[in-house]
A and B are shown apart, each in its own frame.
Chain A
Amino acid sequence: MASNSKTRGKGGTGRNTPTAPAKPADRAATTISSGGGARGGASGGGTRGGAGTNPVAGTNSPAGANSPAGANSAGGTGGGSGPARRGKAGAEERRTKAAAARAAAAAQERRRRNLIVAGVVVVVLIIVGVIGFAVQNSREESKPVVLPAAATGTDGGIVVGQASAPVTVDMYEDFQCPACEALETQTGPTIRTLLDQGKIKIDYHMMSFLGPESKRAANAAAAAANEGKFRQFHDVLYANQPKEHTGGFTKDTLLTLGAKAGLTSQAYKDAVNGGTYDGYVAKVDGDASKAGVTATPTVIIGGKQISGTQLTPDGFRAAVTAAS
C-alpha cells in the first residue's frame, strides 16, 4: 500500500499536474481499510494518463492491465497520439510507471483476495469444528444411563462377593481383551477361591474400548448383573472368548452364552437385543478412563495398582495379604 501511493505521487509531480498527487492520495486514505486502495491506484494511473494525452489512453489502460504486455502496447498507442506535448523519454517513463502501478495494484488485489479466502476458510473450519462438537455431543446424550441392580461399587462398578470382605479389588477388564482372558485362565481360580472364602470382594469395571463386540458383551453382562448372575456370565464369556476384532459376541451368541449361565428370562433377552445398558457401559468406560486406567486388565487391590508381573496366582494372593 505504501509503495503504491509513493509511485503514484511521483508520477503526478512528473506530469506537473498539481491536483493529481492529492487526489489519489486522498482516495488511498479513504479506501485503505476496505483494501479498495489497490483499485483506486489502478484507476488513478489510468485517469491521469487520459488527462495528459487523450481519453483513449485512459480507457485503454485498465483493460490493458490484464497482462503486462498488453499494458505496454496500450500505453504505446496513447503516447503515440500526443508526441508533441512531451518528450519520448517522458512517455516511456510514464508508461513504465503506469505498468508498475498496475502490476502493484494487481498484486495488491491478489493479496487482498487471498486474505479474504484465507479468512473465510479459517472461519468455516472453526464453524465445522463447533458443528462437529455439537453433533457428537447430541449423539452421546441420546444414551440414557440405566444402572443394573448390582452396580453399587465406585464409578458404577459391579460388586461381586461378600459385603463383609476386608479387601476390595477393582478389576478393569474388557470381554474381548486377550490379556484379560489370559488373566482369567491363569489367576481366575485363585480369585474365585478368595471370593468364596470371603477374603475379597470385587468391583468389576467392564470396559468396552476394543469395539462394538466389547460393548455388546458389557451390555449383556450388565443385564446379567441386574439378575444377580454377573459372576457366572463373566466366567462363561471368558471361557468362550472369540478372537479379538472378529465381530464375535453377537446378540445371538450372547443369548446362547447367557443361557449357559442360567440367563433365560425375557428381561435379559430384551436387554441384550435392545441395548438397555449401553449408556451405563459408556459411563463405566468413561469413568475408568477418567480414573487414569490406561490398559486392561488393570487390577487395583486395596487402592494400590498391581503390576503385570504380579497378576499370577501367587502375586495376587500376596497383594491381597498385604492389603488386609
Chain B
Amino acid sequence: MNTIAYRLTTPTQPASRSISTVLRLALGAVWFVAGLLKVNDPDGMLRSVRAFRILPEALVQPVAYSVPFLEIALGVLLIVGLAVRVTALLSALMFAVYIAAIASAAARGLRIDCGCFSSGGDLTADAPTHYTSELVRDSLLLVVATLLAWRPGGYLAVDRLLDQPVNDRSGSDADGLEL
C-alpha cells in the first residue's frame, strides 16, 4: 500500500505535499525573478517580442508591456499558493507558448536571444544563440508546471486555509437558505 509511488502520487501523502510545495515555490520564484528582470526595460521587451517576428506590430506593444507584470503576478500567486491549479495551468500554457516561439525562431534561423530572463532580442552579429539550452530549460519548467497542476495541494498555501471552513459554511449557510 505505502509504496514510494503511492506516497508520491497520493495528494494527501506528506511526500506528495512536500514535493508539490517545493515545485510551487520554485516555479513562483522563477516567474517572479523573470518578470522583475524585464519589468524595468520596456524597450528591451518590445525588441525581444518583435525580434521573434511572430506577432503583428499592433500586438507587439501590448504583449511586451504586459507580460512582465503577468509573470510577477503569477510568481506571487504561486508563492502564496492561491488558486495553485489555475496558476500552474496558466504557467504551463505560457511555457508552451514560449517553447513554440523559441523553436519557431530557431527553425526560421533567426539569431535572437529569447529574452527569457532579461530583455533579449537581436544579438550582435557574432554572438552565439542558446536555443537548445533555452528550450531544455523551458521544457523543464513546463514539466514542473504540469506536475503542479496535477498535484496542487502543497503546504504553506493560502488554498489550504481557504479549504478548511468549507464544510462549516455549507452547514451554517443552509440555515439561512431555509428561510
Residues of A within 8 A of B (CB): 27, 31, 36, 38-40, 42-43, 46-47, 62-63, 65-67, 102, 105-106, 109-110, 113-114, 117-118, 120-122, 124-125, 128-133, 135-137, 139-140, 174, 177-180, 209-210, 282, 285-286, 289-290, 292-298, 308
Q: Tell me the complex Cα distance, A31–B177, Å.
A: 10
- A285 and B171 form a contact (CB under 8 A): no
Query: Is the pair A113, B178 in contact by a Cβ cutoff of 8 Å?
Result: no
Contacts A132-B66, A133-B65, A295-B111 known; A285 to B168 CB distance under 8 Å?
no
Interface of B is mostly: helix
Q: Per-position contact with A for B151-170: 1 when CB-CB < 8 Å, else 0?
A: 00000000100110011111
The answer to whether B50 touches A289, judged by C-beta atoms less than 8 angstroms apart, is: yes
| In the complex, chain A residues whose CB is within 8 Å of the CB of B119 | 209
Residue of B50, B69, B123 touching A128 (CB-CB under 8 A)? B69
For B70, list chain A residues within 8 Å (CB): 125, 128-129, 132
Contact residue among A62, A67, A105, A209 (Cβ-Cβ distance under 8 Å from B43) = A209
List chain B residues, Cβ under 8 A from A282: 43
Nearest Cβ in chain B — how far from A227, in angstroms? 26
Inter-subunit contact A130/B66 (CB<8 Å): yes
- In the complex, the chain B residue whose C-beta lies closest to that of A180 is B124
CA distance A125 to B93 in the complex (A): 14
Contact B77 A121 (CB under 8 A): yes
Contact B174 A179 (CB under 8 A): no
Q: Which residues of B contact A174 (CB under 8 A)?
A: 124
Q: What separation, in Å, do the CA atoms of A292 and B53 have in the docked complex? A: 9
B11 interfacial contact with A, CB 8 Å: no
Contact of B66 among A66, A133, A210 (CB under 8 A): A133
A/B interface sample: 12 pairs, CB < 8 A: A113-B162, A117-B82, A117-B86, A117-B159, A117-B162, A125-B74, A136-B45, A136-B65, A178-B126, A286-B46, A296-B124, A308-B125
Chain A residue at smallest Cβ distance from B178: A43
Residue B172 is within 8 A (CB to CB) of chain A in the complex? yes
A295/B167 in contact, CB under 8 A: no
B174 touches A42 (CB 8 A): yes
Choice from A125, A131, A209 contacting B90 with Cβ under 8 Å: A125
Decide yes or no: A38 and B170 within 8 Å by CB, A286-B43, A289-B122 being known contacts: yes
B62-95: CB near A (< 8 Å → 1, else 0) gives: 1011111110111001000011011100100000
- B43 engages A290 (CB within 8 Å): no
- Give, as a whole number of angstroms, the nearest-CB distance from A316 to chain B: 15
B124 vs chain A, min Cβ distance (A): 5
Q: Give the chain A neighbours of B90 by CB distance below 8 A.
A: 122, 125
Q: Taking the complex as formed, is B34 at the interface, i.e. its CB lies under 8 A from any CB of chain A? A: no
Check B101 for interface membership: any CB of A closer than 8 A: no
* B27 close to A (CB within 8 Å): no
Given A43-B174, A290-B57, do A128 and B73 touch, yes or no (CB 8 Å)? yes
Q: How far is the CB of A135 from chain B (nearest CB, A)?
A: 8
Partner of A118, one of B83, B111, B124, B174: B83
Interchain CB contact under 8 A, A179 and B125: yes
Asked if B15 CB lies within 8 Å of chain A CBs, one says no
**Other-chain contact of B171, A27, A66, A133, A295 (Cβ < 8 Å):** A66
Interface centre among B66, B73, B125, B172 (most CB of A within 10 A): B125
How far is A149 from B121 in the complex, measured between Cα atoms in Å? Answer: 30
B142 smallest CB distance to A (angstroms): 19
Given contacts A129-B67, A293-B122, 11 further A-B contacts (CB under 8 A): A40-B174, A62-B172, A67-B167, A109-B167, A113-B166, A114-B85, A118-B83, A122-B86, A132-B65, A140-B42, A140-B43
Known: A109-B166, A121-B82. A179 touches B110 (CB 8 A): no
Q: Is A294 in contact with B112, judged by CB distance below 8 angstroms?
A: yes
Q: Which residues of A contact B68 (CB under 8 A)?
A: 132
Residue of chain A at shortest CB distance from B174: A43
What are the residues of chain B within 8 A of A31 when measuring CB–CB? 177
What 4 A-B pairs come out closest when comparing CB atoms?
A: A132-B69, A43-B174, A129-B66, A62-B171
Is the CB of B51 closer than 8 A to any CB of chain A?
yes
A contact residues around B72 at 8 Å (CB): 128
Distance of B47 from chain A, by nearest CB (Å): 5
In the bound complex, do residue A295 and residue B123 qualify as a contact, i.e. CB atoms below 8 Å apart? Answer: yes
- Cβ distance B83 to chain A, nearest Cβ, rounded Å: 4
What's the nearest-Cβ distance from chain B to residue A286, in Å?
A: 7
- On whether the beta carbons of A66 and B167 are closer than 8 Å, the reply is yes
A47 to B87, CA, bound (A): 40
Give Cα A132 to B177, complex, Å. Answer: 42
